[in-house]
């Protein structure tokens, strides 16, 4: 394939060398003449393991050229990878000046091109950038249409500096955000041989995946470091503890707890987080990440409350009260918080939870109810049918197949259903279903 690469920093230079190694004809474009001179001379513009040898080899093999002529680069190639920097602006937003400038030039070049062209954005971009900001620029400057005369897509880059050639050859996955088959087919040809899964999604989702991955990595590092600072203060071997934490592949290093849902609660997580923060306070250890978890959890519960209030409906039915299916443990259940708020706001509330029978609640569980929703008994119903029948808005907080069957049977088209549990795709309700944030 004939490929042009815009921006020859870490991402662009490594892609250029690896694509040329894989047999493609690659032309590199950068505004920094020093980088172009280095590549012309068979040298690497970035310090990366293996790049000195690889760049010398691919340049000597005649597969690489460099230019500042954007027009020729677009006219003479089939596909462009855009890898310019998108650094932080002083206010924390993304400085897109380089990519905006490039897109104007790419559009002008497309004005003259008679054949279709694929533009692949590899720079990290805030969701919506490609479709709402960059596409209009290229369409305006070229007088041509995305999806007809050219194809825009977004493919986040996952290489890490220091191991970038290895990461290029073995990425965690390939994600392509596109609106049509044409650019996907081209990227399958380019990257389909890599030993990883190839996922196609929307452009916006592909843009966002990059942020979620980087944020997750940053959060993991900070979690380990905060845990280590606390371990140190408590005289515990942090390396040993985190080694053991990492050995749990069922709950710790797995997809468990990583799907969006409702706020957590129950008798363990909140109390243990509180005790952790107390230990840290006693030892003067600052743990901003761990300390932010309970407030964030509360914000999530408040989000559900706000959605219910914003609906304007006053007859609310809650399906589920305990903190998870199969238990009658109400301690710190975020659904109890919801009930408390709805009652406090004067809404009419009915609650169904197959596991919760007030007369059977004992000890701490019973005390929790006494403290938070002492009159909940007046709102509890033993059958789901009447709760559905007498509500305008239903909050589904229980993940249970029998509940879903009842909802499928009894929910009416005029009812709103706020889904806190990610209702399975197969569950078809007649009401207006809204996910909490999905
Ligand atoms: N560095 C990484 O490990 C990494 C990994 C994944 C994603 N990314 C993302 O990829 C993008 C590029 O990152 P990088 O580290 O390679 O950046 P970089 O700063 O190393 O390189 C960017 C290059 O773009 C060039 N450039 C700027 N304006 C230009 C223009 N108008 N025309 C042509 N070239 C221009 C610069 O001269 C520079 O050589 C960023 O969005 C970054 O967030 C980087």
Q: Identify the active-site residue in 212, 213, 246, 268.
A: 268
Question: What is the residue with the minimal CA distance to atom 12 of ligand 1?
Answer: 85
Would you call 428 exposed, middle or buried from its count of C-beta atoms within 10 A (0-12, 13-18, 19+)? exposed
CA of 7 relative to ligand 1 center, distance in Å: 6
CA 122 to ligand 1: nearest atom: 10
pLDDT at 269 over 90: yes
pLDDT at 113 over 90: yes
CB 12 within 8 A of CB 30: yes
pLDDT at 363 over 90: no
- Scanning the structure block, which residue is given the tokens 């940053």? 218
Q: Give the DSSP letter of residue 134.
A: I
Say yes or no: CB of residue 66 within 6 Å of ligand 1: no
CA 11 to ligand 1: nearest atom: 16
Compute the mean pLDDT over every residue in the chain, rounded to the nearest whole number.
96
User: How large is the average pLDDT for residues 267-278?
Assistant: 96
Give how far Cα 296 sits from Cα of 264, 303, 385, 425, Å: 10, 11, 34, 28
CA 84 to ligand 1: nearest atom: 24
pLDDT category of residue 203 using cuts at 50, 70 and 90: very high
Give how far Cα 182 sits from Cα of 45, 130, 134, 273, 351, Å: 32, 17, 19, 50, 51
Say yes or no: CB of residue 384 within 6 Å of ligand 1: no
What is the per-residue pLDDT for 101? 97
Which residues share a beta bridge with 419? 396, 435
What is the per-residue pLDDT for 362? 83
pLDDT at 366 over 90: no
CB 141 within 8 A of CB 109: no
CA 124 to ligand 1: nearest atom: 41
Q: Are strands 25-29 and 2-6 parallel, antiparallel or unpaired?
A: parallel
How far, rounded to the nearest angstrom, does the alpha carbon of residue 172 sit from its chain's CA centroid?
A: 15
Q: Which of 85, 89, 157, 165 is the best mutation target for the ligand 1 pocket, counting ligand atoms within 8 Å of the beta carbon and taking the most?
A: 85
User: How large is the average pLDDT for residues 244-255?
Assistant: 98
What is the per-residue pLDDT for 244? 98
268 flagged as catalytic: yes
Q: Which of 83, 94, 171, 217 is the best mutation target for the ligand 1 pocket, counting ligand atoms within 8 Å of the beta carbon and taking the most?
A: 83
The listed CATH number (1.10.10.10, 3.30.420.40, 2.102.10.10, 3.40.50.720) that belongs to domain 2-203: 3.40.50.720
The DSSP secondary structure of 139-193, one letter per residue, reads HHHHT--BTTTEEEEE------TTSHHHHHHS-S-EEEEESSHHHHHHHHHHHTT
CA of 83 relative to ligand 1 center, distance in Å: 5
What is the per-residue pLDDT for 182? 96
Instruction: Look up residue 320 and give its two tokens.
Output: 């589920």
User: How large is the average pLDDT for residues 194-216?
Assistant: 98
Alpha-carbon distance 38 to 30, whole Å? 12
pLDDT at 267 over 90: no
pLDDT in tens, 4-59: 999 999 999 999 999 999 999 999 999 999 999 999 999 999 999 999 999 999 99
Q: Which of 6, 10, 211 is the best mutation target for the ligand 1 pocket, counting ligand atoms within 8 Å of the beta carbon and taking the most?
A: 10
Does the domain formed by 295-435 have CATH 3.30.300.30? Answer: no
User: How large is the average pLDDT for residues 370-390?
Assistant: 92
pLDDT category of residue 281 using cuts at 50, 70 and 90: very high
Say yes or no: CB of residue 157 within 6 Å of ligand 1: yes
Over its C-alpha atoms, the chain yields an Rg (Å, rounded) of 28
Give how far Cα 136 sits from Cα of 71, 122, 129, 152, Å: 19, 18, 10, 11
pLDDT in tens, 296-342: 999 999 999 999 999 999 999 999 999 888 888 888 999 999 999 99
| Residue 58 φ/ψ, nearest 5 degrees | -75, -30
User: How large is the average pLDDT for residues 283-304?
Assistant: 98
Return the higher-pLDDT residue of 117 and 329: 117
CB 67 within 8 A of CB 29: yes
pLDDT at 369 over 90: no
Alpha-carbon distance 390 to 350, whole Å? 8
Alpha-carbon distance 40 to 279, whole Å? 59
Q: Would the pTM of this model clear 0.75, i.e. be above it?
A: yes
- Scanning the structure block, which residue is given the tokens 């980088």? 35
Return the higher-pLDDT residue of 183 and 375: 183
What is the per-residue pLDDT for 324? 86
CA 8 to ligand 1: nearest atom: 39
Would you call 16 exposed, middle or buried from its count of C-beta atoms within 10 A (0-12, 13-18, 19+)? buried
What is the per-residue pLDDT for 207? 98
pLDDT at 372 over 90: no
Q: Indicate the range of 125-139, 308-322, 367-381 predicted with least confidence.
A: 367-381
Say yes or no: CB of residue 217 within 6 Å of ligand 1: no
Say yes or no: CB of residue 171 within 6 Å of ligand 1: no
pLDDT at 121 over 90: yes
CB 130 within 8 A of CB 95: no
What are the domain boundaries of the chain?
2-203, 295-435
Say yes or no: CB of residue 135 within 6 Å of ligand 1: no
Domains 2-203 and 295-435 share a fold: yes
CA of 189 relative to ligand 1 center, distance in Å: 24
Beta-carbon contacts of 405 under 8 Å, excluding residues fewer than 6 positions away, are none
| Nearest partner of 358 among 383, 342, 378, judged by Cα | 378
For the chain, helix, strand, coil in percent to 5 are 45, 15, 40
């Amino acid at each position: 394939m004939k490929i042009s690469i815009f921006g020859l920093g870490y991402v662009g230079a490594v892609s250029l060398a690896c694509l040329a190694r894989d047999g493609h004809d690659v032309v590199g474009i950068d505004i920094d003449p020093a980088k172009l001179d280095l590549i012309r001379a068979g040298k690497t513009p970035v310090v990366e393991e293996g790049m000195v040898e690889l760049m010398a080899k691919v340049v000597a093999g005649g597969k690489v050229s460099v230019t500042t002529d954007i027009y020729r680069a677009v006219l003479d190639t089939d596909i462009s990878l855009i890898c310019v920097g998108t650094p932080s602006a002083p206010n924390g937003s993304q400085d897109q000046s380089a990519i905006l400038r490039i897109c104007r030039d790419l559009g002008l070049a497309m004005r003259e091109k008679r054949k279709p062209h694929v533009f692949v954005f590899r720079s990290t971009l805030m969701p919506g950038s490609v479709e709402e900001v960059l596409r209009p620029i290229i369409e305006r400057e070229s007088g041509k249409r995305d999806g007809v005369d050219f194809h825009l897509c977004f493919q986040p880059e996952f290489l890490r500096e220091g191991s970038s050639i290895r990461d290029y050859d073995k990425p965690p996955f390939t994600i392509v955000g596109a609106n049509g088959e044409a650019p996907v087919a081209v990227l399958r040809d380019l990257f389909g041989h890599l030993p990883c899964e190839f996922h196609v999604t929307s452009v916006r989702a592909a843009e966002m995946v990059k942020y979620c991955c980087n944020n997750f990595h940053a959060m993991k590092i900070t979690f380990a470091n905060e845990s280590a600072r606390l371990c140190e203060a408590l005289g515990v071997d942090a390396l040993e503890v985190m080694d053991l934490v990492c050995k749990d592949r069922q709950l710790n290093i797995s997809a468990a707890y990583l799907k969006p849902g409702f706020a957590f609660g129950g008798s363990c997580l909140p109390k243990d987080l509180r005790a952790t923060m107390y230990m840290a306070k006693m030892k003067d250890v600052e743990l901003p990440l761990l300390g932010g978890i309970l407030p964030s959890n509360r914000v999530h519960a408040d989000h559900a409350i706000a959605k219910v209030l914003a609906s304007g409906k006053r007859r609310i039915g809650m399906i589920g009260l305990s903190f998870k299916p199969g238990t009658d443990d109400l301690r710190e259940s975020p659904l109890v918080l919801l009930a408390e708020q709805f009652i406090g706001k004067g809404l009419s509330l009915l609650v169904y939870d197959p596991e919760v029978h007030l007369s059977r609640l004992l000890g701490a569980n019973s005390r929790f109810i006494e403290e938070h929703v002492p009159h909940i008994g007046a709102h509890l119903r033993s059958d789901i049918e009447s709760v559905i029948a007498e509500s305008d808005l239903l909050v589904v907080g229980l993940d249970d197949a029998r509940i879903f069957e009842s909802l499928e049977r009894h929910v009416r088209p005029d009812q709103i259903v706020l889904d806190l549990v990610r209702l399975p795709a197969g569950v078809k309700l007649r009401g207006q279903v809204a996910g909490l944030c999905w």
